[in-house]
């Protein structure tokens, strides 16, 4: 008879594999817990947007999901259906007459049968629930918020700003990555240092300037400044451009291409991951920006973007949390869809621009 040597299972290699598996399992569990905690507000938003106000109140002591107690109509009266334990098992019965010690029930499946007398405290019985999704909240929020107009305002501000940001930042990053500018390192450090400058520091002089030239109450203060680049986006694009081989530029120049042609035909086609990442960063920033739109559009509600309009909506309908969560969910829809559509390019751009290639 062959003898199996069990000492193999106690070998150092087996122990290392077991430890590696345990560490990977713990890391996965920790990541899942962090992800669940991070997404829990989003889940609460979705669930609340599908409830009525009464369902939200009942969820404090009852089910969290959008459900309602099953009702049975008997002689023009709606009766609650409860889970009643009987000798032949638990049955779903409608309570006809509630008593302190004894209650009368009827069978919804056979309402013509004799009523059932049950001894016990009916308040301790668990009700029968059914899903009741209130999709009408979306229609109501859409109409009350005038969502098409708000969405148009926000889209104009966000996508026009994305266009201006990409044009200006690509040109500035290309100059820092390829041109022999005197004092280029010092200029680049000054530009990057503006990232740490708080927006509140520039608020008063900027507002005074825009008010003096008559731009307050318009979209111009929210769009035009983005045509002059910013340090964060220039840094990302410059890091990516600097990693591209210069031999491609030289080959294009030998064929007669100038700097602009090199940028359009050589640099940009190879830099789509970084460009998409910068575009998404700015689009999300412009979509969620509240401070500056509140200041510059306060006197003209018709041009207010989504963030300001939702805040005004919340102040009017603060007693209806289902509508508040619905408007927030509607505002998140487009950025989330764009992120998932461009996720591959976005992640490549963020990872590559942060490492030395």
Q: Write the DSSP symbol of residue 202.
A: G
- 139, 133, 146: which is closest to 316 by C-alpha? 146
Q: Are 156 and 226 in contact (CB under 8 A)?
A: no
Q: Which two tokens stand for residue 208?
A: 């005074």
The crossing angle, in degrees rounded to 10, of helices 272-288 and 147-178 is 140
Return all residues near 167 (Cβ < 8 A) that are at least 6 apart: 227
Q: Are 214 and 300 in contact (CB under 8 A)?
A: no
- 331, 281, 282: which is closest to 309 by C-alpha? 331
Q: Are 217 and 296 in contact (CB under 8 A)?
A: yes
User: Across-strand partners of 91?
Assistant: 84
Place of tokens 């035009």: 224
User: Across-strand partners of 106?
Assistant: 94
pLDDT tens-place string over residues 327-342? 988 888 888 888 788 7
Helix-, strand-, coil-residue percentages of the chain, each rounded to 5: 65, 10, 25
Q: Looking at residue 227, what is its pLDDT?
A: 93
CATH 1.10.3720.10 fits 138-352, yes or no: yes
Element holding 82 (H helix, E strand):
strand 77-86
What is the rounded distance in angstroms from the CA atom of residue 246 to the CA atom of residue 259? 12
∠97-103-106 over CA atoms, to 5°?
A: 65
Q: Which two tokens stand for residue 315?
A: 């102040």
Element holding 97 (H helix, E strand):
strand 89-97
Q: Are 169 and 278 in contact (CB under 8 A)?
A: yes
Chain-centre distance for alpha carbon 123: 41
Q: What is the DSSP annotation of 225-262?
A: GGGG--HHHHHHHHHHHHTS-HHHHHHHHHTT--HHHH
Q: Which residues of the chain have pLDDT under 70?
A: 1-10, 345-357
What is the rounded distance in angstroms from the CA atom of residue 153 to the CA atom of residue 157? 6
User: Other CB atoms closer than 10 Å to residue 42's CB: what's the count?
Assistant: 13
What is the rounded distance in angstroms from the CA atom of residue 312 to the CA atom of residue 304? 10
Q: Where are the domains of the chain?
A: 67-131, 138-352
Q: What length does the chain have?
A: 357
Q: Looking at residue 200, what is its pLDDT?
A: 81
Q: Write the DSSP symbol of residue 4.
A: -
**Sign, Cα dihedral of 68, 72, 74, 76:** positive
Q: Looking at residue 347, what is its pLDDT?
A: 63
- 159, 165, 157, 163: which is closest to 222 by C-alpha? 157
User: Across-strand partners of 130?
Assistant: 68
């Amino acid at each position: 008879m062959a003898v199996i040597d069990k000492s193999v299972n106690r070998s150092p290699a087996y122990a290392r594999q077991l430890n590696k598996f345990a560490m990977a399992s713990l890391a996965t569990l920790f990541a899942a817990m962090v992800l669940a905690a991070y997404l829990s507000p989003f889940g609460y938003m979705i669930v609340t947007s599908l409830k009525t106000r009464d369902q939200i109140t009942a969820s404090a002591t009852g089910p969290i999901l959008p459900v309602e107690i099953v009702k049975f109509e008997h002689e023009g009266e709606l009766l609650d259906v409860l889970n009643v334990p009987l000798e032949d098992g638990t049955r779903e019965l409608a309570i006809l007459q509630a008593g302190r010690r004894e209650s009368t029930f009827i069978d919804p499946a056979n309402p013509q049968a004799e009523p059932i007398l049950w001894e016990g405290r009916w308040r301790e019985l668990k009700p029968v629930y059914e899903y009741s999704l209130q999709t009408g909240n979306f229609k109501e929020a859409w109409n009350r918020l005038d969502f098409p107009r708000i969405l148009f305002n926000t889209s104009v501000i966000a996508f026009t700003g994305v266009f201006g940001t990409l044009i200006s930042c690509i040109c500035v990053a290309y100059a820092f990555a390829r041109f022999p500018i005197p004092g280029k390192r010092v200029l680049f450090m000054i530009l990057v240092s503006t990232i740490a400058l708080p927006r509140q520091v520039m608020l008063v002089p900027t507002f005074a300037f825009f008010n003096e030239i008559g731009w307050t109450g318009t979209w111009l203060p929210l769009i035009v400044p983005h045509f002059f680049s910013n340090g964060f986006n220039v840094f990302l694009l410059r890091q990516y451009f600097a990693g591209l081989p210069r031999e491609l530029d030289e080959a294009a120049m030998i064929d007669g291409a100038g700097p602009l042609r090199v940028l359009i035909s050589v640099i940009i086609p190879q830099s789509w991951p970084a460009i998409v990442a910068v575009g998404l960063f700015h689009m999300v920033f412009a979509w969620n920006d509240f401070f500056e739109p509140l200041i510059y559009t306060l006197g003209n509600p018709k041009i207010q973007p989504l963030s300001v309009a939702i805040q005004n909506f919340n102040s009017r309908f603060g007693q209806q949390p289902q509508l508040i969560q619905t408007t927030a969910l509607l505002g998140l829809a487009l950025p989330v869809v764009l992120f998932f559509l461009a996720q591959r390019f976005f992640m490549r751009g963020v990872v590559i621009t942060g490492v030395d290639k």
